[in-house]
């Protein structure tokens, strides 16, 4: 299976379960697919959602907005220049209480610490998704954010495919079928069947995303598997 569109996924869900659109309406399937996508997103940290963004800090402002769609920040770099990205250093992550105490004296300078504030930033840059900085920037330092973005969701007509539907279509289908049989309240053996299939595919996809993609032969060595000798 090279990939699957939202329309094909909707058709397959009804075909596999042999349930018509009278019960599995478009609205019901939309919610089923959304739940399946969120499950995959949280089960497998895919490289497809790792992003970077560069901007300038605001002098005397203790927070910096994160990019639209950012879910969480993995790392923050701050350069020693206000015009280009020279000699950047990675900030140390701390709890907000640590920064509140540190910033109580309103110390300014090149930031050394950061903490997450608020939740995901949604589709616009807002302070509801931001990082707190300490010391408070005393200039418009250039900074770079390394973060994970909220994935684009499958939708009819507007977004028929995404990274998961094109690169993990069988896992998406199995996850959706698990959600579907849970919605239909049975049969239990079919729910267990597709739960097992989903977990099997997650192991393979996870091995690719957080295994093969994050190692190289030079530093980590070539992966070798033990092969049992067949005795005649």
| Structure confidence by residue, pLDDT tens digits, 43-67 | 988 888 999 999 999 999 999 999 8
Bridge partners for 90 per DSSP: 77
Please list, in sequence order, all residues whose beta carbon lies within 8 angstroms of the beta carbon of residue 68, skipping any fewer than 6 positions away.
121, 122, 123, 124, 125
What is the average pLDDT score of the chain? 86
Q: Does position 214 have pLDDT exceeding 80, yes or no?
A: no
pLDDT of residue 7: 94
The angle formed by the CA atoms of residues 141, 143 and 149, to the nearest 5 degrees, is: 155
Q: Which residue has the higher pLDDT, 118 or 117?
A: 117
Q: Does position 106 have pLDDT exceeding 70, yes or no?
A: yes
* pLDDT band at residue 210 under the 50/70/90 scheme: confident
* pLDDT band at residue 30 under the 50/70/90 scheme: very high
Yes or no: say if 183 and 34 are a contact pair by the CB < 8 Å rule. no
pLDDT of residue 127: 46
3-state SS, one letter per residue, for the chain? CCCCCHHHHHHHHHHHHCCCCCCCCHHHHHHHHHHHHHHHHHHCCCHHHEEEEEEECCCCCCEEECCCCEEEEEEEEECCCCCCCCCCEECEECCHHHHHHHHCCCCEECCCEEEEEECCCCCCCCCCEEEEEECEECCCCEEEEEEEECCCCCECCCECCCHHHHHCHHHHHHHHHHHHHHHHCCCHHHHHHHHHHHHHHHHHHHHHHCCHHHCCHHHHCCCCCCCCCCCC
CA dist., res. 206 & res. 10, Å (int): 25
Look up tokens 């289908």; give the residue.
173
Instruction: Tell how strand 113-118 and strand 108-109 pair up.
Output: unpaired
Rg (CA), the chain: 23
Yes or no: say if 21 and 188 are a contact pair by the CB < 8 Å rule. no
pLDDT of residue 232: 61
């Amino acid at each position: 299976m090279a990939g699957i569109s939202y329309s094909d996924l909707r058709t397959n869900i009804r075909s596999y379960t042999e349930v018509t659109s009278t019960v599995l309406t478009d609205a019901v399937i939309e919610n089923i697919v959304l739940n399946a996508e969120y499950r995959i997103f949280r089960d497998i940290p895919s490289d497809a959602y790792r992003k970077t963004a560069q901007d300038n800090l605001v002098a005397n402002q203790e927070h910096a907005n994160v990019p639209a769609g950012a879910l969480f920040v993995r790392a923050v770099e701050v350069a020693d220049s206000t015009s280009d990205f020279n000699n950047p250093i990675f900030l140390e992550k701390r709890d907000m209480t640590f920064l509140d105490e540190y910033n109580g004296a309103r110390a300014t300078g090149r930031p050394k610490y950061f903490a997450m504030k608020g939740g995901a930033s949604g589709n616009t840059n807002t302070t509801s998704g931001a990082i707190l900085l300490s010391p408070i920037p005393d200039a418009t330092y250039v900074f770079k954010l390394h973060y994970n973005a909220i994935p684009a969701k499958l939708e009819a007509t507007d977004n028929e495919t995404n990274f998961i539907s094109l690169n993990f279509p069988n896992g998406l289908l199995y996850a959706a079928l698990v959600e579907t049989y849970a919605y239909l309240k049975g049969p239990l053996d079919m729910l267990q069947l597709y739960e097992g299939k989903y977990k099997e595919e997650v192991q393979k996809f996870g091995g690719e995303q957080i295994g093969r993609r994050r190692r190289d032969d030079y530093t980590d060595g070539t992966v070798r598997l033990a092969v049992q000798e067949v005795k005649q």
